[in-house]
Amino acid sequence: ENMAGHLPTGLKGLDNALCGGIPFGVVTELVGPAGIGKTQFCLKLSLLASLPSSYGGLDGSVIYIDTESKFSSRRMIEIGFNSFPEVFHTDGMAQEMAGRILVLRPTSLSEFTDSLQKIKVSLFQHGVKLLIIDSMAALLSGEGVQGPQRQHSLGWHISFIKSVAEFSRIPVVVTNQVRSQSRDETSHYSFQEQSRGESPEDAAKLDSHLVAALGIHWAHAVCIRLIFESRSGQRFIKLAKSPLSPPLAFPFNITSSGILL
């Protein structure tokens, strides 16, 4: 049993900075441009949460709200075979692990509302140890809502997500995409180019960027924010908002084993 109340990510430096991993009971946000690896990270977390505790997992189920049809059980099982060969080469284990991930695919805000209401019950009945929402902002882009109206339409969802984390005491991980200026993965985002300074300024710029997208209510609901970014071809996870740690950046790569440091 994980007494500390953290889901280790397997990225040592990040886990140390987070005092053990993604904390239970709060909302952790993963932010970054398209293709940077947020979904890959979520697949890895899903595996770690569902893995038997003898292998360092949480031995639980996972609810994965997949709003952009990015979840791939094939890819998840591939990561599993490469990262945890002893577990996955056990007969029937790949199927069992895959069966522990409940994937919901709402395609509109109202379906998202239904999904959240539905999971309220299953959270307690099925031993859910991780809730992932990948991604949240995507639900709004199709709705044609802008500005204050857009933020208002998410108010209930934001409160609900925060309270799910608090009451169920599981880690809740939410991804959000920020636009990068070009499709080139080595480019910086617009908010980074305006500032060469270290993280407080960057974080403030990102904050205002996200506040514009999802509203101040959302910004306050997030306890930990991990920024995914790429510089000169190297990907980084930056701990941008944390009650525990100063801003730190950790390099990572995506391989057949998933996310690696």
List interacting residues with ligand GTP (CB under 6 A): 32, 34-40, 68, 70, 75, 177, 254-256
Centre a 10 Å sphere on the Cβ of residue 248 and count the other Cβ atoms it contains.
17
- Residue 224 has, within 13 A of its CA and on its CB side, a CA count of 28
Nearest residue (CB) to ligand GTP, 34 versus 216: 34
Report the nearest approach of ligand GTP to the CB of residue 92 (Å).
23
Nearest residue (CB) to ligand GTP, 16 versus 255: 255
Task: Give Cβ neighbours of residue 146 (< 8 Å, ≥ 6 apart).
Answer: none
Nearest residue (CB) to ligand GTP, 202 versus 229: 229
Nearest residue (CB) to ligand GTP, 136 versus 203: 136
* Residue 5 token pair: 């109340």
Measured CA to CA, the distance from residue 59 to residue 53 in angstroms comes to 5
* Sign of the Cα pseudo-torsion (249, 254, 259, 261, in order): negative
Measured CA to CA, the distance from residue 28 to residue 99 in angstroms comes to 24
* Residue 72 token pair: 């791939």
Report the nearest approach of ligand GTP to the CB of residue 126 (Å).
25
Q: Which of 1, 40, 33 is nearest to 173 (CA)?
A: 40
Report the nearest approach of ligand GTP to the CB of residue 7 (Å).
18
Nearest residue (CB) to ligand GTP, 169 versus 179: 179
Nearest residue (CB) to ligand GTP, 77 versus 154: 77
Question: Residue 31: which H helix or E strand, with range?
Answer: strand 27-32
Report the nearest approach of ligand GTP to the CB of residue 1 (Å).
30
Report the nearest approach of ligand GTP to the CB of residue 258 (Å).
8
Report the nearest approach of ligand GTP to the CB of residue 78 (Å).
6
Measured CA to CA, the distance from residue 95 to residue 157 in angstroms comes to 32
